[in-house]
Amino acid sequence: MKKLLSILLCLGLWGISCKKEDNPGNTLTPAQTYANRLAGIWDVDSLTYAATVSVLGQQIPVNGGTSQAGYIEFINTPSKVVNYDIKFRPSLPPTIPFPLDTVRLSGQGTWTNTVDTITLVDTSNQVYKFKVLFNGMSTQQLRTVVTYDGGTLGQVPVSLEMTLGRR
Which residues, at least 6 apart from 17, have a Cβ–Cβ distance to it below 8 Å? none
Lowest model confidence (mean pLDDT) among 22-36, 60-74, 153-167: 22-36
Q: What integer best gives the mean pLDDT of the chain?
A: 86
Q: Considering only CA atoms, which of 41, 31, 11 is closest in space to residue 114?
A: 31
Residue 156 lies in a domain: yes
Q: Which residue has the higher pLDDT, 25 or 31?
A: 31
Tell me how crowded residue 95 is: count the other CB atoms within 10 A of its CB. 10
Which domain does 118 fall in, by range? 31-166
Residue 71 lies in a domain: yes
Domain count, the chain: 1
Q: What is the value of pTM for the model shown?
A: 0.79
The CATH number that applies at residue 58 is 2.40.128
Residue 105 lies in a domain: yes
Residue 11 lies in a domain: no
Q: Considering only CA atoms, which of 67, 60, 66 is closest in space to residue 94?
A: 60
Residue 25 lies in a domain: no
Q: How far is CA 44 from CA 27, 69, 124, in A?
A: 31, 5, 22
Residue 147 lies in a domain: yes
pLDDT at 129 over 50: yes
The reported pLDDT for the residue numbered 14 is 46
pLDDT at 131 over 70: yes
Residue 133 lies in a domain: yes
Q: Which long-range contacts (CB under 8 A, 24 or more apart) does 101-104 make?
A: 101/151, 103/49, 103/146, 103/148, 103/158
Residue 17 lies in a domain: no
| Residue range 46-73, pLDDT digits in tens | 999 999 988 788 888 989 999 999 999 9
